[in-house]
A and B are shown apart, each in its own frame.
Chain A
C-alpha cells in the first residue's frame, strides 16, 4: 500500500470554507460513535449538546460569555501562529493578567475610588499578560529555547502563583477560610449588557479586537512582516524585518490579549479571585485559532462553535450525567479533523500501485 500526496494546482476558494465544515462534520460523526459507546442515544445527546443551548435566551447569553475569552485569546494566538511562534502558554498569560488586574481591584476595595478603576485594571492585565508572554519570547531570542516548552511550563507556575495568593495574602478575611478574595466593588466589575443574564461588556472589547486585528494583520506592514516571518524566515530577514522584534511583538500581543481575557472573566462573570478561573480557555483558544484559520473573523466564528461545546458539555453533565471530559474529546477531535481536512483540501491523496516505499 502506498499513499501519495499531490499538491493541488489550485485550491478552490470553496475548499477554504469547506475544510472547517468538513472537520465539524467528521467531529460530529466521531461524537455520535462516542455517545453510543457511552450508552446514550446519540440523537438525544446531540439535541442536548448542540441544539438546546441555541434555543434558550439564557444559554445564548452564556454562549457569548464563554466565547469572549476564547475570542480574545484566539486572536492573540493568531498573531503568534502566523509568525510560526508556538505560544501554547496562553492559559498562564490569562492567569497573570487576571492577577495584575485583580491587584488593583483588591487594593482599591472599600475605598471611594472612581470609575477609573476598571479601565486601569484592563490596562494592568494587558501589561501582566504581555510580560508573562515575553518571558518565553526572551528565552527564545536570547538563548534559543523552544518557546513551546517554556510557555507551557509557565502555565503551571502562574497557576501555582494564583493558588498561593488566593489561599494566602488575598484571602477574604470574612470568607470562612474559603480560598477566595473579597467580591470586587462595583467600579471594578465589567458591566452587564442586559438586565437578565450574564452577558457583559467584554464581548464588545473582543469585537473591537477582531476589527483591530483584521486591520493590522491584513493591511499593515506589521501584519505583513508577521506573515512573512512565519512563512519564509530567510526571506523576511532579506526583506529587512528583524526576527527578534517580530517574536517579541507577537508574544506581547498574544500575552496582552490573554491577560485581558483573564481580567474580563474575573471582573465579569466570576466577580472575585478564586483558585480556578478558567476551564482551560487558554488551551481551547488554540483550537479556536486553528479552526478560524488564524483570521480574526474566522476565530470569531470558531470561538462560538467551541463555546457551544462548553455549554453543551455542561448541559449534558447535568441532564445526562455525562462526564465533562466529553467536551475535551470533542475539542481534541475537532482540532485533529481541522488539521486533516486542511491537508485534504490542499493536497489530493492518491493511492499508488506498485510503489511500496513510503
Chain B
C-alpha cells in the first residue's frame, strides 16, 4: 500500500508535470484565440529550457534564468510572427519551421552544459499550511512556477472574457476582415498574442530545465509542446478547461512512470507511449463530440489586408 508521504510526493510531481503543460497551452490558447495556429510551441519551449538553463548556470540566479527563458521564447515566436502574420506564409509550415529551428538553436546553446546539474527551484514554504498532512505539500509546497501558472490562468481567463483587450483579441480571431474594417490593428494584435504564447512556452521550458528536471538534455521537451497544442483543442479554446486537461495529462505522464516502477510486466515502452496515445484519444473524443465547435473562425487563415 501507498503511504501518505509517497502519495503526497506523487501528487506533487503530477502538479509539476501539469504546470509545464498548462503554461505552454495557456500561451498557445491566447495565440489561437487571436486566430494564429503556432505549431512552434515545441521549439519555443525547448529554446526557453536551454536559454533558461544556460543563464541560470552562468549567473547562478534562477530568476535571471527564468526571465531569459521567457524573453527567448518570445524572441523565437517573432520568427513565426514574421512569416505567418507579416508575410502571410502558411501557418502550419511556419510553425514547423519555428520548431525545427528552435530544436537546433536549443541544441547549440545547450551543448556545453550536457552533464551539468543545477539545484532545482526551491519550493515556497508557507508556514503552517505547507505542513498540513497530504495536501500540504501538494497545494502549498510547490515552487513559484506552479503558483505563477495558476495566476496566469486566472488573468487570461478573466482578460479574455471580461476586458476590452480580450474582446478585441477574440474579435480578431473570429473575423480578421471585420476587425480590420472596424480599424483594429489585426496584425499587431496577432503578433502580441503570438509573443505572449512564445513567452509562456519559454516559461514552461524554464520550469522544465530549472525545476522539473534541473539539468539540460537535448530534446528534453519530448513532445510536450505538441501535447500542449492538443490540449488547446481539448479545452475547446476555453482557459478553465485547460486546467482540467493539463492536470489529466500530468497525471497520466506521472502515473505511467510509477506503474513502470512496480514492474507489472507491462512493457515500459507501452507505458511511455500512454501520454501520446492519450493525446490522440482525447483529440478523437473531443472532435467526435464537438466537431470543431469553439474554434476561432479565422484560426489558421492568413490575413492580407486590402490594398
Contact between A and B in the complex (any CB pair below 8 Å) = yes
Restricting to B77-91, which residues have a CB under 8 Å from any CB of A?
79, 82-83, 86-90
Q: Are A163 and B226 in contact (CB under 8 A)?
A: no
Q: Which of the residues B39, B89, B291 comes within 8 Å of A340, measured between beta carbons?
A: B89
Q: Which of B208-227 contact A (CB under 8 A)?
A: 218, 222-223, 226
- In the assembly, what is the distance between CA of A167 and CA of B272, in Å? 15
Interface string of A141-166 (1 = CB under 8 A from B): 00111101110111011001101100
- For residue A342, give the distance in angstroms from its CB to the closest CB of chain B: 7
A286: CB under 8 A from chain B?
Answer: yes
The answer on a CB contact under 8 Å between B104 and A329 is: yes
Q: Most A CB atoms within 10 A — which of B86, B108, B272, B288?
A: B108
In the complex, chain B residues whose CB is within 8 Å of the CB of A3:
86
Asked if B100 and A335 sit within 8 Å, CB to CB, the answer is yes
Q: Is the CB of B292 within 8 A of A144?
A: yes
Question: Could you tell me if B283 and A139 are in contact, using CB atoms closer than 8 angstroms?
Answer: yes
Contact between chains at A343 and B87 (CB < 8 Å):
yes
A67 at interface, CB cutoff 8 A: no
A97-154 residues with Cβ-Cβ distance < 8 A to B are 139, 143-146, 148-150, 152-154
Q: Is the CB of B273 within 8 A of A156?
A: yes
Which of A52-60, A211-219, A320-328 touches B?
A: A320-328
Report the tally of A-B residue pairs with Cβ distances under 8 A.
149
- Which residues does chain A contribute within 8 Å of B187, judged by CB atoms? 358
| Bound Cα distance A212, B2 (Å) | 61
Q: What CA separation (Å) do A358 and B229 show in the bound complex?
A: 27
Chain A residues within an 8 Å CB radius of B188: 358
Q: Which residues of A contact B233 (CB under 8 A)?
A: 146, 149
Instruction: Please state if A153 and B226 are interface contacts (CB–CB under 8 Å).
Output: yes
With a CB–CB cut-off of 8 A, which chain A residues contact B82?
340
- Which secondary structure characterizes the binding site on chain A? helix
B159 CB to nearest A CB, Å: 21
A7 to B305, CA, bound (A): 11
| B residues near A339, Cβ cutoff 8 Å | 83, 87, 89-90, 93-94, 97
Within 8 A of A (CB), among B191-249: 218, 222-223, 226, 229-230, 233
Closest to A5 in B: B304
Residues of B within 8 A of A347 (CB): 88
What chain B residues lie within 8 Å of A239 (beta carbons)? none
Q: Does A336 contact B (CB under 8 A)?
A: yes
Closest chain B residue to A150, Cβ basis:
B280
Bound CA span A344–B229, Å: 29
Count of chain A residues with a beta carbon within 8 Å of a chain B beta carbon: 54
| Chain B residue with the shortest CB-CB distance to A136 | B280
Q: Is there a chain B Cβ closer than 8 Å to A6's Cβ? A: yes
Q: With A and B bound together, what is the CA distance between A60 and B272 in angstroms?
A: 39
The reply to whether the CB of A38 lies closer than 8 angstroms to some CB of chain B is yes
Contact between A329 and B108, CB atoms less than 8 A apart: yes
Please tell me if the beta carbons of B304 and A156 are within 8 angstroms of each other in the complex: no
Which of A3, A326, A357 has the most chain B CB atoms inside 10 A of its CB?
A357
Closest CB-CB distance, A274 to chain B, in whole Å?
15
B185 close to A (CB within 8 Å)? yes
Which residues on the B side are within 8 Å of A139 (C-beta)?
A: 280, 283-284, 287
Report whether A164 and B280 are in contact in the complex, using a CB–CB cutoff of 8 Å. no
B104 touches A328 (CB 8 A): yes
Chain B hits for A48, CB < 8 A:
none
Q: Is the CB of A335 within 8 A of B104?
A: no
Give Cα A89–Cα B143 distance, bound, in whole angstroms.
36
Q: In this complex, which of B79, B94, B103, B280 has the most chain A Cβ atoms within 10 angstroms of its Cβ? A: B280
Residues 273 to 291 of chain B near chain A (Cβ within 8 Å)? 273, 276-277, 279-280, 283-284, 287-288, 291
B267 close to A168 (CB less than 8 A): yes
Instruction: Give chain B residues whose Cβ lies under 8 Å from the Cβ of A167.
Output: 269
Q: Give the docked Cα–Cα distance between A230 and B279 (Å).
A: 27
CB distance from A132 to the nearest CB of B (A): 12
- Contact flag A325-B218 (CB < 8 Å), given A283-B100, A286-B96, A339-B93: yes
Within 8 Å of chain B (Cβ to Cβ): is A88?
yes
Tell me if B259 is interfacial: C-beta within 8 Å of chain A.
no
A326 touches B104 (CB 8 A): yes
**Partner of B283 from A145, A168, A336 at Cβ < 8 Å:** A145
Cβ–Cβ < 8 Å partners of A46 in chain B: none
Alpha-carbon distance between A339 and B223 when the two chains are bound, in angstroms: 24
Question: Which 8 pairs show the lowest CB-CB distances between chains A and B?
Answer: A325-B107, A332-B101, A328-B104, A358-B187, A329-B104, A164-B269, A332-B100, A335-B97
12 pairs across A/B with beta carbons < 8 Å? A86-B92, A139-B287, A148-B39, A153-B276, A153-B279, A156-B223, A160-B270, A163-B269, A325-B104, A325-B105, A332-B105, A336-B79
Query: A7-B304, A156-B273 are known contacts; what are 12 more A-B pairs with Cβ within 8 Å?
Result: A34-B108, A139-B280, A145-B287, A146-B283, A149-B279, A160-B270, A164-B270, A325-B111, A329-B101, A340-B87, A357-B184, A357-B185
